[in-house]
Structure 1
Amino acid sequence: MSTATDRGVVGKLSTLDRFLPAWILAAMLAGLATGRVIPGLGAAIDAVQVDGISLPIALGLLIMMYPVLAKVRYDRLDTVTRDRRLLLPSLLLNWVLGPALMFALAWLLLPDLPDYRTGLIIVGLARCIAMVIIWNDLAGGDREAAAVLVALNSVFQVLAFGVLGWFYLAVLPGWLGLPQADLAVSGWAIARSVLIFLGIPLLAGYLSRRLGKRARGRDWYETRFLPRVGPLALYGLLFTIVVLFALQGGQITSRPLDVARIALPLLVYFAIMWTGSFVLGKAIGLPYERTTTLAFTAAGNNFELAIAVAIATFGATSGQALAGVVGPLIEVPVLVALVYAALLARRFFAPSTATVSERPGHDTAPSA
């Protein structure tokens, strides 16, 4: 890949997105410092709660979920549901193979750290509905297909996340003869967290798009409204990270190697899921654009939802919550690297008859 191409890919990212790992690291350090200099912070944060989560954290979680779901093109579901070569592999990768792979990696690489292991299993169940649109767009993927798969993942998470969480955390370990004492969790508790912290912003995002387009038109919604609310997702994430690390400062500074161990299964997961999905797309005859979309939607995870569920179910100071917080710090640089890998692999595909932006009905404004 040429240097000019490299600059082009990076240049398409906003300043916020380009330095996302740095912002996340800064938020972690700010949280650690805040926890040390403000005594009694934990008691103040927990004074008012929503579904077992302190009100400040709950607001941060809802704010970071809403902009992502407001960007989804809910009216384009049929453009992908008719393409079974894309839809069926995506459902298989996202809801069967992905969670199973993370479950296996968590038990294989964290056998002695049950809290972090559980947190990673929750991450594996939370399929990506956020930054994946950005990575897909940078790699030249099919933007509409990505938006539709994101919409399907959003709806499916509301319907199935609680059941899958109960299965992977409470049922499957018993079947396999694995310890269960540290995995006792209510399926309803997970489902309730999903309904609150995904269902509410999902409804708000859907209504925003529907009412905004009706009142001001699609062009205003896509080019004026979304750019204004988009950064709220990052602000909400960073705020949540600051609060979580303020609460977990003592645990983090006393066990820095645990953070590195959390990172290892995540790195292996991203490599296997993205590479396997990309090879599968090529093997079943998908064009480059949809192969890329399949790979990125399968490899990414919804860390916002994972953090919300972990906090609501296990508490803000739990190891499960820490595993979710570490996730974005690892995911962002890895998926940026995979954008370049996809562009390098493009030479092995036949040229498309039309670019993504030239397809009928395709929006030329960035979806993310």
Structure 2
Amino acid sequence: MSATVAAPSPARLSTLDKYLAVWIGLAMLAGLLLGRWVPAVADALNAVTIGSVSLPIAVGLLVMMYPVLAKVRYDEIGDVARDRRTMVLSLVLNWVVGPAMMFALAWIFLADLPEYRTGLIIVGLARCIAMVIIWNDLACGDREAAAVLVALNSVFQVVAFALLGWLYLDLLPGWLGLSSTGLDVSPLEIAGSVLIFLGIPLAAGFATRRIGEARIGRERYESDFLPRIGPWALYGLLFTIVVLFALQGEAITDQPLDVARIAVPLVIYFALMWGGSMLIAHRVGLSYPRATSVAFTAAGNNFELAIAVAIAVFGATSGQALAGVVGPLIEVPILVGLVYVSLWSRRFFAESPAAQGEQ
């Protein structure tokens, strides 16, 4: 039996999904204008925080992730976990290729801007745990595979983030004769972020699925209940984008050339990580849904963790924090575009014997 859940074809997408790029563009513009025209809004949004993250952002992220995690068929996750090709490929792409690529791009394009360079490297170290679930779902990826890979990345994040920060910001630059930057962040801080932004919606989604199926059965749960809560994932996404860009709207509009310089390596990074991951997944015989999950988890980044770390270590007005905020400014429209590229690429994924092994 397939571990994937049938997803709607592009022709059946709702109006909200079909014009997602438009809504996201409007949300980004609204946030930028709000931050620019109402400077006091940043203080209001930052008045209450969870760790170093604004409470409104935290709420938006939780609302965004809950509906998708409530869709996961948790009883089929074991099939994904036993797929060694998917698991190993995802780990290598996320924890070897991704950080190394961002390190190289940051030094190539921002060698003369150490604050932005450091911020970009931190973005590369913060692997996906949030929006990637939305992109995967929109691209008709394997929902269970995405849940497993996100959970796996979260565990590695707690263990590896501080170590990789030391490697890429201190040790490796020293070996290469480059300037180094310390990153003083504890595993407990990272674990707290993972617990809040993944643990809470994951527990809520799991509980909803178990209770819902027990009361009304799987068929009614998926045909009646899920369509009602589904749009809230995108409402949460749009709300988060508005708040995020409102917080940094003035900095972004005041420094357009700096934003452009930070954007160039990010565009290259997202394109290479997603395209390379999709190509490798195809070559090793993964099916389209699972290849999509691998590609989006490899290309996506945990911007809330990157921003939280940059603010905690370097300050809210630092160049490192600005680079962290520019991350989703570029990631959101690029990965939305890649959703459409991904749907187009399905024609190249025949069900090979190797892909049949996922079933």
Please, what TM-score do these two structures have when normalized by structure 1?
A: 0.78
Please list, as runs of the form range in 1=range in 2, the aligned pairs for 1:240-319 lying within 5 A after superposition: 240-286=240-286, 290-291=290-291, 293-301=293-301, 303=303, 318-319=321-322
- Cross-structure match for 1:48: 48
Bigger Cα displacement from structure 2, 288-297 vs 67-76: 288-297
| Cα drift, residue 294 of structure 1 | 4.0
Amino acid at match of 2:155: L
1:300 CA drift (Å): 4.1
Gaps of 5+ in 1: 1-7, 138-142, 361-368
Tell me the distance in 1 between the aligned counterparts of 2:228 and 2:115: 37
> How far off is 1:112 after superposition?
3.8
Contact 1:189 1:313 survives alignment (8 Å): no
Distance between the aligned counterparts of 2:161 and 2:25, measured in 1?
29
Cα 1:172–1:39 shift into 2, 3 Å: closer
Partner of 1:323: 326
Structure 2: give runs of 5+ residues left out of the alignment. Answer: 1-7
CA spacing shift, 1:114–1:215, aligned 2, 3 Å: farther
How many angstroms apart in 2 are the aligned matches of 1:123 and 1:80? 27
**In the alignment, is the contact (CA less than 8 A) between 2:36 and 2:249 conserved in 1?**
yes
Residues 321-367 of structure 1 show CA distances to partners (whole Å, capped at 9, x for unaligned) of 41333121222113322432x23534xx4778999xxx98xxxxxxx
Change (3 A) 1:180 1:354: closer
Does 2:333 align with 1:333? no
The reply to whether residue 160 of structure 1 matches residue 164 of structure 2 is no
Number of residues of Structure 1 aligned to a counterpart in Structure 2:
341
Deviation at 1:75, TM superposition (A): 1.4
- The answer as to whether partners of 1:35 and 1:41 remain within 8 angstroms in 2 is yes
Q: What residue identity is the alignment partner of 2:257? A: L
Q: How does 1:110-129 map to 2 (within 5 A)?
A: 110-124=110-124, 125-127=126-128, 129=132
Q: Which moved more, 1:21-30 or 1:94-103?
A: 94-103
Q: Which amino acid aligns with 1:154?
A: V
Report how far residue 46 of structure 1 moved.
Answer: 2.6
- Secondary structure of the equivalent of 2:133? coil
Choose which of 148, 151, 167 in structure 1 pairs with 2:144. 148
Contact 1:120 1:320 in 2 (8 A): yes
Q: Secondary structure of the residue that 1:164 maps to in structure 2?
A: helix
Counterpart amino acid of 2:18?
R
Does the 8 Å CA contact 2:66/2:205 hold for their aligned counterparts?
yes
Aligned 8 A contact 2:60 2:240 in 1? yes
Note if contact 2:64-2:232 (Cα within 8 Å) is conserved in structure 1.
Answer: yes
Partners of 2:258 and 2:77 lie apart in 1 by 41
Contact 1:237/1:304 (8 A) holds in 2: no
Alpha-carbon RMSD: 3.4
In structure 1, the residue matched to 2:3 is none
Query: Residues 9 and 229 (structure 1 numbering): CA distance in 2 closer, same or farther, change over 3 Å?
Result: closer
Structure 1 residues 51 and 288: alpha-carbon distance in aligned structure 2, compared to 1, 3 A threshold: closer
Q: Distance in 2 between matches of 1:69 and 1:119?
A: 30
Deviates more, 1:206-215 or 1:36-45: 36-45
- Provide the C-alpha distance between the structure 2 equivalents of 1:304 and 1:14, rounded to a whole number of angstroms: 28
Normalised TM-score (structure 2): 0.79
2:170 to 162, 170, 174: 174
Q: SS of the residue aligned with 1:131?
A: helix
Whether the aligned pair in 2 keeps the contact of 1:166 and 1:186 (CA below 8 Å) is yes
- Contact 1:123–1:302 under 8 Å retained in 2: yes
State percent identity of aligned pairs.
51
